[in-house]
Structure 1
Amino acid sequence: MDPEEVTTSLEASEGAGLRKITAWAFWDWGSQPWNTVITTFVFAVYITSESFGSTNHTSQMLALSTAIAGFFVAVLAPVLGQNSDRSGRTVRNLRWQTWILAAVAASLFFVQPSPEHLILGLVLLGIGSVVSEIAGVNYNATIEQVATPTTVGRVSGYGWGFGYLGGIVALLTLYFLFVQPEVGLFGVTGEDGMDIRVSMLMCGIWIAVFTIPALVALKDRPRPRAPRVGVIQSYKLLFGTVRRLWKTSRHTVWFLLASALFRDGLAGVFAFGAVLAAGTFGMNAGEVIIFGAAANIVAGVSTILFGLVDDWIGPKKVILISLFALVALGLVVFFLHDGGKTVFWIAGLGLTAFVGPAQAASRSFLARLIPEGKSGEIFGLYATTGRVVSFLSPAAFGLGIWIGARVTGEENTQYWGILGIVLILAAGALAMLPVKEHTHHRI
């Protein structure tokens, strides 16, 4: 079957005006505090602080919990993704998953700064990460409601960049209201970690409120409902899809495998970036938040601009440019880690400038290929292939720390973890090189 014989979801779409696209992008804006505030710049730093144990121990435990969460995403994504496709309830499922994510974020308030609460914090963090990923599958599937083949790059970049800008607003709001003042809003202080814990409560409210425009604007499209299938049958269908892709569009399979590698590396940059800022470069909580705000400005602007480039030169080139730049900047962080905060500010901001463009271009690459009525299934497969290897970056980060301790004999070898992330990014870039442009694929 020739690619021209298949009508893709984007080809069948009429697209949308800026108003609806912005409403769609508000899900990125609203859900971003989970990624920016919780898993990167605030809660991840809090849970790896000395209040919960030694830096090496808490960092390795965070890496372990992240890997376990990735395993559960890999197991659940095909079942839940197919359920959305077959039931025609993608938006309804997205709505419930968003509300659950808001509740989990708010529940982090109960994680007090003591070693006894380390496991509670990591379990909640893991559950939220699973919910966030599954919700992301359904959200990605809705891009067909707002984009066409000629606009998908800029729409994807706009949504991702809009999310980063939402992250900076959330970070600065929480920083100036609760973290920075000795006595913040409502009389909140740093005693018993209350400034961080209240910030988590506010993240839950943020997610619930700011995702409303997307959940109102997006509608489930009427379609014949397919019969429900069990877990085993869901996996049979998944393997059938993979076999069909291997026969008819092998480069699509290679793209899924390559993107699984580099997306895991991209996640590692953000998951452990703030941890390195605090544990290796000596930034305090306030400095990490300020860095996070600057990082989100850079990431948001660069992702929106690269979205325009995506529609011009194609997503593959955007992905490769971003990955090779990330590898180079990651090595700068490792070799110049003794240079202090200035090194991290320069190299760290450079890293954030290329993470978002690679993520958005990867989404637009796949969106261009999906046949009409298959968005949930294919984006579910996209999530599954990504999560199958999601243990790699956390494991490589933790292993890097362990190797560094054995090689150098130093007490804090956290900076060696960046080599693990660089290795994953490099592997993803090399795997992406032989993949053909999206115009040569079919599904």
Structure 2
Amino acid sequence: MDEAVERRASRRGIWGWMFFDWAQQPFHTLIITFVFAPYFAASVASDAARGQELWGYATGIGGLLIALSSPVLGAIADATGPRKPWILFFSVLGVVGCFMLWQAVPGMENIGPVLFFVALAVFGMEFAAVFNNAMMPDLVPRSELGRLSGSAWGLGYVGGLITLICVLGLMSASPETGRTLLGLEPIFGLDPATHEGDRASGPFTAIWYIVFALPMFLFTPDVVRRASASGAVRRGLAQLGRTLKSLPSQRSYFSFLISSMFYRDALNALYTFGGIYAAGVLGWSIIQIGIFGILANITGAVGAWFGGRIDQRFGPRFVVACCAVLLTVSCLLVISTTKTEILFMTVAASGEGSRLPDIMFYFAGGVIGAAGGAIQASSRTLLVDQVERERVTEAFGLYALSGKATTFIGPLAIAVATGFFASEAFGLSAQDAQRLGVTPIIVLFALGLVLLPWVKSRHQGAAAATES
């Protein structure tokens, strides 16, 4: 009981830590997904295909650098103690990268600097999250970690949603009409002809991050320095070497890293290809896909918050398993839905309009958002259960490695499957080939589920200790 009291931060400190998710989520919402990335591919690069290729290289290089260095830096951080200096350093890199995206003017000849700053932003923002996540187990007793993680993740979704509405409704305007999504002229005199509203998403993300990350730096307690920085690299690398050597014998920890690798790859592929699938199979417009994204953000916030409460009651492994099942079922709903079919059953003749397939797809998107938010939040809690508190930063580094090093699996499997079913040997239409092409996502979720029984959680023991 005394240990639980010692590990509880002040209310202000806990909220400061939670607001980091609120501060960082707009980077993923505005830069990586909905605003800057589509603008870059469509207007900055020479053509959309080339833009998609270059964007993949920039974000991939940033992710690769994280994968290669996060376990090492995590181990070094654990050897010294405090995480805030690391968060500050990488935050500066991420903020500079986001600010400089304003320079990405349409049709620019030399886009090398833009690609550099994209990679820098990914590297800085993602790494700051690794060290911020590692602060979590020192804020509340183990029995409350699930609720804390879920609430913070849900708060992040709300932040992403608000910033998306701000940018699309007040800043980003169509060059043809000069109006935003809300039918308004862009604020601050942003020029639609040169896509200043889209480019402003970079500085806006940076300013939002600076403002809302401050409470964490000011109020959230950090761990005390465990050792001198001198020799920290040697000690950190030695500890990492011991961890990697013993990892296969740590069945629960090793199984979790592999399991989460599969279901996170599946979830990322589902997010990436959901809009592409909706456009190709259902013929959705950009506005419909945008509504789909907003819906997924709303249900993601609710799902993460509610999942945190279930996590506290039944443990993180239960939440992860249930969400993986829900995501698998949602994938089945998606591939069984076309303009004329639901669950492979015809609901409208070819050429006749029916809203039921659209409604079903929106429903599936809502479930994907809710389950995706909950599974990511509870994964943080489940990871904390696998290691001692003194090694948690290293663990989040390995978690980042397992996620970043294999992000190609989902997209590559979908590409291969789509090409396979689109071959003349099957004689399928392009839509049917696209439907069957996303089936590897179901396989990845299933692989993640198969490994979960070997993953242990300290939830029951923590709950019993708290009650006593």
CA distance in 2: counterparts of 1:411 and 1:309, whole angstroms = 38
Partner-residue secondary structure (3-state), 1:151: helix
Give the superposition deviation at 1:41: 2.0
TM-score by length of 1: 0.84
Give the superposition deviation at 1:323: 1.1
Partner of 1:331: 332
Partner of 2:413: 396
Is contact 1:164–1:297 with CA below 8 Å preserved after alignment?
Answer: yes
Partner of 2:241: 239
Partner-residue secondary structure (3-state), 1:345: helix
Cα 1:210–1:56 change in 2 (3 A) is same
* Cα deviations by residue, 1:203-249 (Å, 9 ceiling, x for unpaired): 121111111111211243323325555979855532311223434x3
Is contact 2:386–2:456 with CA below 8 Å preserved after alignment?
Answer: no
- What is the RMSD computed on CA atoms of the aligned residues? 3.4
State which drifts further: 386-395 or 148-157.
386-395
Partner of 1:99: 92
Give the superposition deviation at 1:121: 5.3
Aligned length: 432
Give the superposition deviation at 1:190: 3.1
Give the superposition deviation at 1:292: 2.8
Partner of 1:136: 129
Cα 1:274–1:389 change in 2 (3 A) is same
State which drifts further: 409-418 or 331-340.
409-418
- The reply on whether 1:148 has 2:149 as its aligned counterpart is no
Whichever residue aligns with residue 187 of structure 2, its letter is L
Whichever residue aligns with residue 447 of structure 2, its letter is A
* Cα deviations by residue, 1:416-440 (Å, 9 ceiling, x for unpaired): 6644444433322223244344469
Partner of 1:218: 220
Partner of 1:24: 17
* Cα deviations by residue, 1:33-85 (Å, 9 ceiling, x for unpaired): 11122212222333444874666665565555544433222101022212322
Cα 1:203–1:425 change in 2 (3 A) is same
Whichever residue aligns with residue 85 of structure 2, its letter is R
State which drifts further: 141-150 or 123-132.
123-132
- The reply on whether 1:178 has 2:171 as its aligned counterpart is yes
Whichever residue aligns with residue 110 of structure 1, its letter is Q
Whichever residue aligns with residue 217 of structure 2, its letter is L
Partner of 2:80: 87
Cα 1:90–1:122 change in 2 (3 A) is same
- The reply on whether 1:313 has 2:306 as its aligned counterpart is no
Is contact 2:170–2:184 with CA below 8 Å preserved after alignment?
Answer: no
Is contact 1:306–1:357 with CA below 8 Å preserved after alignment?
Answer: yes
State which drifts further: 196-205 or 419-428.
419-428
Cα 1:99–1:400 change in 2 (3 A) is farther
CA distance in 2: counterparts of 1:58 and 1:331, whole angstroms = 31
Is contact 2:23–2:213 with CA below 8 Å preserved after alignment?
Answer: yes
Cα 1:139–1:42 change in 2 (3 A) is same
Is contact 1:42–1:289 with CA below 8 Å preserved after alignment?
Answer: no
Is contact 1:245–1:252 with CA below 8 Å preserved after alignment?
Answer: yes
| Percent of residue pairs identical | 28
Match of 1:38 among 18, 31, 38: 31
CA distance in 2: counterparts of 1:110 and 1:341, whole angstroms = 38
Partner-residue secondary structure (3-state), 2:143: coil
Give the superposition deviation at 1:118: 6.9
Partner-residue secondary structure (3-state), 1:389: coil
State which drifts further: 38-47 or 314-323.
38-47
Which runs of no fewer than 5 residues in structure 1 stay unpaired? 1-6
Is contact 1:91–1:219 with CA below 8 Å preserved after alignment?
Answer: no
| Equivalent residue runs for 1:3-402 within 5 Å | 13-49=6-42, 52=45, 58-59=51-52, 62-63=55-56, 65-114=58-107, 123-179=116-172, 180=181, 181=183, 183-226=185-228, 228=230, 237-247=239-249, 249-274=250-275, 276=277, 286-338=287-339, 341-400=358-417, 402=419
* Cα deviations by residue, 1:388-429 (Å, 9 ceiling, x for unpaired): 323323433444555465465859987666444444333222
Whichever residue aligns with residue 241 of structure 2, its letter is F
Partner-residue secondary structure (3-state), 2:382: helix
Cα 1:438–1:125 change in 2 (3 A) is farther
* Cα deviations by residue, 1:317-352 (Å, 9 ceiling, x for unpaired): 111111121122123323425467545422222211
Partner of 1:4: none
Partner-residue secondary structure (3-state), 1:254: helix
CA distance in 2: counterparts of 1:401 and 1:221, whole angstroms = 49
Whichever residue aligns with residue 348 of structure 1, its letter is G
State which drifts further: 48-57 or 237-246.
48-57
Give the superposition deviation at 1:303: 0.8
CA distance in 1: counterparts of 2:459 and 2:316, whole angstroms = 11
Is contact 1:160–1:300 with CA below 8 Å preserved after alignment?
Answer: yes
CA distance in 1: counterparts of 2:49 and 2:423, whole angstroms = 13
Is contact 2:316–2:379 with CA below 8 Å preserved after alignment?
Answer: yes
CA distance in 1: counterparts of 2:444 and 2:460, whole angstroms = 26
CA distance in 2: counterparts of 1:157 and 1:294, whole angstroms = 18
* Cα deviations by residue, 1:111-165 (Å, 9 ceiling, x for unpaired): 2344957766555433322322211110111112322111001001011111011
Which runs of no fewer than 5 residues in structure 2 stay unpaired? 173-180, 341-356, 462-468
Match of 2:452 among 432, 435, 438: 432
Is contact 1:40–1:270 with CA below 8 Å preserved after alignment?
Answer: no
Larger radius of gyration: 2
Cα 1:67–1:409 change in 2 (3 A) is farther
CA distance in 2: counterparts of 1:425 and 1:63, whole angstroms = 24
CA distance in 1: counterparts of 2:107 and 2:267, whole angstroms = 30
Give the superposition deviation at 1:106: 2.3
